[in-house]
Amino acid sequence: MAKYVVRRLIQAIPVIIGITIAIYAIMLLAPGGPQQRFANNPKITNEQREKFKKAWGLDQPIPVQYCRWIGFCDPDQDGIALLTVKNVPNFLPESLGGGDNGMIHGDLGFSIDSGESVGGRIGKAALPTLLLAGSALILWITLAILLGVFAALKRYSFFDQAATVFSYIGFAMPTFWLGLMLILIFGASLKVLPVSGMVDARLSPPFGSDQYWTYFGKSPGTAIVDIVRHLILPVVTLVVVSVAGDSRFVRASMLEALGQDYVRTARAKGLPNRIVTFRHALRNALLPVVTNIGLEIPFLFSGAVVTESIFSWPGEGRLFINSITNFDYTILMGILLIAAILTVLANLLADILYAVVDPRIKY
Amino acid sequence: MGAMIPPNVTDPDQPDVTPPEGGPAAADYEVSLRSLSQWELAWRKFRQHRLAIVGLGLLFGLVLAAIVGPIFVPFTPVPPVPNQLVYTGRPPFCVSLDEAKHACTQFGLVRPFGETGGLQADVFMLVLNGARTSLFLGFTSMAIGVLIGTIVGAVAGYVGGFVDNLLMRFVDVMLSLPLLFVILVVARFFKGAQDNVWSIIIVFGLFSWMGVSRLVRSLFLSIREREFVEAAKAVGVRDRRIIFKHILPNAFSPIVVAASLIVGGNISGEAFVSFLGFGINPSTPTWGNILSNALAFIAQGNWWWPLFPGLAIILAVLAVNFVGDGLRDAFDPRSRA
Amino acid sequence: MHKRVLGLLATSLVVFAACNPSAASNAPTTPEVTAPPATPTPEFVAIDQSKYAPTAGTSGGQILMGDWQEANQFNPFYASQVTEANVASAAFAGMVVGTYDYQFLPDLATTIPTTANGGVVVPGASGDAMTVTWTLKPDLKWSDGQPLTCDDFKFTWQWVMDPANSGISTSGYEDISSIDCPSPTSVVQHYKNVYEGYVLISGVLPQHYLKDIPMADQVKGAGWTPEDMPKVPTSGAFKFESVTSGQELRLVRNDNYKGFKSNTPAYLDTLVFKWYGDPTAMIAGFVAGEVDIMTDLLAADIPTLKAQGLESEISAIPSLTYEFLRPNWADGSKMDATTGVGGCSRNPAVADRGTGCPASDPAFRQALTFAVNKDEINSRVLGGLEQVANTNVAPDAYYFSDQPPATFDPEKAKSILDAAGWTVGADGIRAKGGLRAKIELCSTTRQARIDTLKLIVDQLKAVGIEAIANNVSASDIFVEFNDGTKDTACGLSHSNFDVAEHAFGVSVDPIGNYSTYDSKFFEPTGGNDAQISDPDLDAALEKVKGTVDFVEVKHAMATFQKIYIEKVVEIPLYFRKEVEVVGPKLGNFFANPTSAGPTWNAVDWYVKA
């Protein structure tokens, strides 16, 4: 198994590179681009638009652009320029005369929209997304397990069927509709909960800034309450929609576990039902559930896209949507790269867990 | 997950035949040993699953409405000039609206689902006509996804080794691709077509197979180590026969559940993509794009326009998932009838 | 001839009177003259007579402004969205400020130079075509305390014309041959040719901050990133305190700036821009009290605002953005085979009409103007909320000349088509010389445009024209010339359309029309995508461009507008409304339809008790 894991980790590198090539190609093949911001502005001449594209390297063919992004090509020369002007391979570290651009050198570039460094911008959005998605994840896993277990225990009962119906309604409900309804009801009509952002802009500095942490240090209680109040509606939106899928899975997995021979044996031996259910069946039932949830983690990163937009939550999902609208290629590649890494790692973890759960599986 | 069902099983519905005290002569009792086929058994179990029957009925109703409805209520791109211009649209069964008081002054047997805002189209007509495209999209993209996923998963799980590795890394690649950009790129291949339904169906199909393939693969990985497969191989059964006749039937249940979730997911997903502006061209109504057009008018008080397509989506998802649950239970050899 | 001059004078007075309702009763009445006087009364057009009169405000306080599009570019020359222009207006000042009544007020300058006050000399003293002399107010400082002098203006001109710069408009700046600084407060611009829009060549960037940043880096945002913004020196009412991507932007009072009317620094302590992800969420946020003013809304949002109880706080004025139908004048005979420029729609859906371009026929275009029912579009698609337009000039602009309103007259359309030889076929659709009256209607996928095109298809069918509506993504219809091909769906830059519906923003100054309508500017040289080619139109535009006599500009623009309607350069549909919602806390809000935006007078905003 250890050999397998090491082998997979080594393979992960060409896989991720392959993924970035595919994503880059698809992104640039799609019509449009950051020069769209000049569309329909008769004052900007074609010449000016060409200069803009040249400044960002968008006039080069796709392989050249990718080569520069990954760090093998010198961005200051046209075409595939594997050597810098000093005739040193570009992929070498800067100290040895190579370039300083590209993934190899740890540089993800700058945002076409705002000029910020991509790493910095993505980093700023990470904590809000972790907060939102993390809270939602914990809440919906707990609810999914509770619902799924009780539905399995009381199979075909009214509770089971009602839970089924309600969870499918949640599954089919579009997030954007639910989010907007919650905003209108709790924000505009009842005025009990805030509808946007992470903090109250009148009272607190923006989240994540240095002033914010000073403010947090001075009055942590108010700051935490502020954030929690802003978290409630978006978390509810995410949870309602996601509980369904996972609760069905928990139910199925639990039923499977309860049908196993060893459960019957345990009951026959006289163990109380509660111990049989929770100590034995549940534990085994949860392993595939955990695997499945592990596979959902990458979607947390760029997921919750619509929820973050509607609630003006400054996380990765909102950044992703804004970058798509504005064709901010550099930020998009940064986000998709991180999502790709998470996906590959999550799949590896899932495969390992499969082998742990089912010893018959041999790699 | 399910040993192979032995060919002859006693029908559990037959009354329990217990010999009376004193011992009978075996010849005194005639016991029918006609065995039910797998399909009949499945149908019996399905029938007993109440929600599944409800789901089947719902599904049947929706498909019927989708096919027959547009004949009676055809799609009119430009609604006729309404007798009262109301920008927000009139509620269901309302003939004339007092705009100042937001109250309907005259009711009538018209527009059971109300009107849209703007051009004031009949929501019932839109939802009925949208059913075709939405259901077609859901099922076709599911079919594409399940087909590709099953093949990839089966090959990966059965052959194992390098091929398995290669295919699963390909799954990793597919899982990392950005859906919205792929939609734009694929749309370019359907140049000149106003009607991009097929391009969306294909893209959704291409993004639905990964989960199925992992599922099928894990099934194959665990089953191929089982004794009966080893036995079949020892006897000389060809690989293809092993895959199709022995292993795949056991995979049927989880694939069915996955498939039903895919249909629901894709119908909802189409709404999501329409909301972001990447969806099916609005000249073809779908539940998703009706719903996303309605959002701007919710805050004006138009609750019926998003409600009915939303309900339609929910009902379709429920129906498909209930049927899926029923099928899963029906074909699961360990579930009791 | 004299009566006409008097008539024009009376019209201009009426126009000015209309700008400020309170002045209407004070408008002087022109006495009727029965005999022509010996010399004609000189006509006068003023551009520096704004009626702006803010109330005195109280110092202190914070105002929160909500917008659903985040501003990312803070260099005022790179601003490409409304929200970026709003931020720039609050933080950066120039020689003049564009007011809400289409006039200009001196901001950093003491007066606005015109030919009347000698600030503009044509021809210039030292052999140049025109010399414009600006005088700056004394002791101007940037927000960081550095002096703001003529050197900054000279630097700004060089910055705009830097060949390494990209993505900006150089019009006007490219006509300047040199700038002299005889004293720190005197800016002398020497123009190579007479440039009508010289008033707009008045922006300024901080030389001491930018001169050490290489232009190649500036083009990619260096010096203006969110981390940099607190250090950027500003010339206007506010300076940047913090920029937090995705959340908000905080401006604080710039004590080194004095308001153009109040002559004191801004009243507000802080002005915060809060970014929302969705317009409906923003409206809910306003109702919940999260912000004090909302901007960037549309007329379509007005019913929502009313439903949420905000009717009394709505500010809706016609903006300078108008929605119109753009017919393609090209007849295909000079089509470039590789790029498609000079042709018309190559959509396979209309390929069966035969060779030729129906919209190139002036009579066909005339018929379109009578066949389209603008009132029906406004009432059914837009809820009657927009303002139907007859020309593409803002009704309150000084050079506006009213045209007879277009009438909806399908019978007249039919008779025009009949007279021009478009005979009705068996299926009710016309044809002329083997060319079927079948056209492609192009637009984007916005719901209002989809619905508008649907209505127009029906309206055209009623007069015997078959129209195919094609709603495509903005990246297709507005594709840049080098990115697109001759088959890009509805690609305007490659002439792949018959009639397109979209919107243009007109500048308050008429010079903006030049490169869109002059026949010298077909693609890829310029933006005349509709292939407009009319010698009288060209002459009128040349006249506008080449004079600084605003009376002449007005006459030339009157000619332009006349040809615009008669030859059907465009079919304007409606002017979009600029909608803001202003809460009771904000004082001195004056909605401004020009590109200066609602924050043009942010220096005078104050918090009402």
Q: Can you tell me the ipTM of this complex? A: 0.89
Note whether A318 contacts C166, CB cutoff 8 Å.
no
Confidence label for C392 from pLDDT (cuts 50, 70 and 90): confident
Confidence label for C31 from pLDDT (cuts 50, 70 and 90): very low
Whether the per-residue pLDDT at C387 is higher than 60: the answer is yes
For residue A352, the model assigns a pLDDT of 82
Q: Which two tokens stand for residue A95?
A: 């100290």
pLDDT top residue among C133 and A270: C133
**Can you give the length of chain A in residues?**
363
Distance CA C569, CA C534 (A): 9
CB pairs under 8 A between A and B: 135
Question: C307 and C320 in contact (C-beta within 8 Å)?
Answer: no
pLDDT in tens, A349-359: 877 877 777 66
Mean pLDDT, rounded, of chain B: 81
Q: Which residue has the tokens 């009317």?
A: C261
Q: How many angstroms away from the CA of B294 is the closest CA of chain A?
A: 10
pLDDT top residue among A156 and C22: A156
pLDDT top residue among C393 and C609: C393
User: Which chain A residue has the Cα nearest residue C228?
Assistant: A116
Residues of chain C contacting B295 with CB distance shorter than 8 Å? 280
**Can you give the length of chain C in residues?**
609
Distance CA C514, CA C526 (A): 10
Note whether B192 contacts C347, CB cutoff 8 Å.
yes
Lowest mean pLDDT among A215-229, C50-64, C394-408: C394-408
Q: How many angstroms away from the CA of C495 is the closest CA of chain B?
A: 16
Confidence label for C274 from pLDDT (cuts 50, 70 and 90): very high
Q: Which two tokens stand for residue C356?
A: 């030729």
Confidence label for C188 from pLDDT (cuts 50, 70 and 90): very high
Whether the per-residue pLDDT at B1 is higher than 70: the answer is no
Stretch 25-44 of chain A: residues touching chain C, C-beta under 8 Å = 31-33, 35-44
Whether the per-residue pLDDT at B273 is higher than 90: the answer is no
Enumerate residues 6+ apart whose C-beta is below 8 A from B134.
B267, B270, B286, B287, B288, B312, B313, B316
The one-letter code for the residue type at A279 is: R
Note whether C304 contacts B300, CB cutoff 8 Å.
yes
For residue C17, the model assigns a pLDDT of 32
Question: B294 and B252 in contact (C-beta within 8 Å)?
Answer: no
Whether the per-residue pLDDT at B198 is higher than 80: the answer is yes
Q: What is the DSSP letter of B73?
A: S
User: Which chain A residue has the Cα nearest residue B312?
Assistant: A172
DSSP one-letter string for C246-291:
TTEEEEEE-TT---TTT-S--S-SEEEEEE-S-HHHHHHHHHTTS-
pLDDT top residue among A95 and C89: C89
> What is the percentage of chain B residues whose pLDDT exceeds 90?
26
Q: How many angstroms away from the CA of B59 is the closest CA of chain A?
A: 15
Confidence label for C74 from pLDDT (cuts 50, 70 and 90): very high
Segment C321-350 shows an average pLDDT of: 90
User: Which chain A residue has the Cα nearest residue B55?
Assistant: A165
Continuous segment of H or E residues that includes residue B137: helix B123-159
For residue A131, the model assigns a pLDDT of 92
Segment C581-587 shows an average pLDDT of: 94
C524 upstream amide cis, omega within 30 of 0: yes
* Closest listed residue to residue A125, CA positions, set A330, A301, A345, A340: A301
Residues of chain C contacting A311 with CB distance shorter than 8 Å? 277, 281
Stretch 331-390 of chain C: residues touching chain A, C-beta under 8 Å = none
Confidence label for A269 from pLDDT (cuts 50, 70 and 90): confident
A190 touches chain C (CB under 8 A): no
Question: A299 and A307 in contact (C-beta within 8 Å)?
Answer: no
Lowest mean pLDDT among A71-85, B229-243, B299-313, C237-251: B229-243
For residue A88, the model assigns a pLDDT of 82
> What is the percentage of chain B residues whose pLDDT exceeds 70?
86
For residue C10, the model assigns a pLDDT of 33
Cα C507–chain centre separation = 3
Q: Which two tokens stand for residue C198?
A: 């010289």
Note whether B178 contacts A259, CB cutoff 8 Å.
no
pLDDT in tens, B224-253: 777 777 787 788 877 777 777 777 777 777
A27 to A319, B112, B205: CA distances (angstroms): 16, 44, 20
Q: How many angstroms away from the CA of C306 is the closest CA of chain A?
A: 13
pLDDT in tens, A137-173: 889 888 888 888 888 888 778 888 888 788 778 877 8
Q: How many angstroms away from the CA of C305 is the closest CA of chain B?
A: 8
Residues of chain C contacting B126 with CB distance shorter than 8 Å? none
Distance CA C344, CA C496 (A): 5
Question: C494 and C481 in contact (C-beta within 8 Å)?
Answer: yes
pLDDT in tens, C135-160: 999 999 999 999 999 999 999 999 99
Cα-Cα-Cα-Cα dihedral of B195, B198, B204, B209, to 10°? 180
Residues of chain B contacting A294 with CB distance shorter than 8 Å? none
- First-to-last alpha carbon distance for chain B, in angstroms, is 18
Question: C478 and A40 in contact (C-beta within 8 Å)?
Answer: yes
pLDDT top residue among A354 and C172: C172
Q: Which residue has the tokens 């006609």?
A: B34
Segment C88-113 shows an average pLDDT of: 92
Residues of chain A contacting C222 with CB distance shorter than 8 Å? 115
Lowest mean pLDDT among A94-103, B34-43, C36-45, C161-170: C36-45
Mean pLDDT, rounded, of chain C: 87
Residues of chain A contacting B322 with CB distance shorter than 8 Å? 164
Residues of chain B contacting C447 with CB distance shorter than 8 Å? 118, 282, 293, 296
Chain B touching partners, 3 or more CB pairs below 8 A: A, C
Question: B68 and B56 in contact (C-beta within 8 Å)?
Answer: no
C123 upstream amide cis, omega within 30 of 0: yes
B281 touches chain C (CB under 8 A): yes
Confidence label for A7 from pLDDT (cuts 50, 70 and 90): confident
C276 touches chain A (CB under 8 A): yes
B301 touches chain C (CB under 8 A): yes
Residues of chain A contacting B218 with CB distance shorter than 8 Å? 354, 358, 361
Confidence label for B272 from pLDDT (cuts 50, 70 and 90): confident
* CA angle (C443 as vertex; C438, C448 as ends), nearest 5: 115
Whether the per-residue pLDDT at B321 is higher than 70: the answer is yes
For residue A356, the model assigns a pLDDT of 75
What are the strands, taking DSSP E only, across C309-422? 314-327, 387-388
Note whether B81 contacts C304, CB cutoff 8 Å.
no
C450 touches chain B (CB under 8 A): yes
Note whether C284 contacts A188, CB cutoff 8 Å.
yes
Lowest mean pLDDT among A41-50, C258-267, C567-576: A41-50
Burial of residue B321 (CB within 10 Å: 0-12, 13-18, 19+) is buried
For residue C485, the model assigns a pLDDT of 87
Q: How many angstroms away from the CA of B177 is the closest CA of chain A?
A: 6
pLDDT top residue among C399 and A215: A215
For residue C68, the model assigns a pLDDT of 92
CB pairs under 8 A between B and C: 71
For residue B318, the model assigns a pLDDT of 86
- First-to-last alpha carbon distance for chain C, in angstroms, is 57
Note whether B118 contacts C471, CB cutoff 8 Å.
no
Give the three-state DSSP class for A165: helix
Lowest mean pLDDT among A224-233, B160-169, C2-11, C414-423: C2-11
Q: Which two tokens stand for residue B189?
A: 């291949």
For residue A110, the model assigns a pLDDT of 92
Distance CA B127, CA A134 (A): 37
Whether the per-residue pLDDT at C301 is higher than 50: the answer is yes
For residue B193, the model assigns a pLDDT of 53
Distance CA B152, CA C112 (A): 74
Confidence label for B336 from pLDDT (cuts 50, 70 and 90): low
Segment A284-295 shows an average pLDDT of: 75
Outline where C290-409 has alpha helix (H): 302-307, 362-371, 374-376
A159 touches chain C (CB under 8 A): no
Q: What is the DSSP letter of C420?
A: T
Segment C510-526 shows an average pLDDT of: 85
Q: Which residues are paired to C274 by β-bridges?
A: C66, C248
For residue B2, the model assigns a pLDDT of 29
Segment A28-56 shows an average pLDDT of: 87
pLDDT in tens, B102-120: 788 888 888 899 999 889 9
Note whether B194 contacts C349, CB cutoff 8 Å.
yes
Burial letters A240-259, b for 16+ CB under 10 A, else e:
bbbbbbbbbbbbbbbbbbbe
A117 to A107, B248, C74, C225, C227: CA distances (angstroms): 8, 51, 16, 9, 10
User: Which chain A residue has the Cα nearest residue C224?
Assistant: A115
pLDDT in tens, B11-30: 334 334 444 455 555 555 66
pLDDT in tens, A310-335: 999 999 989 998 998 889 999 999 99
pLDDT in tens, C498-517: 999 999 888 777 777 788 89
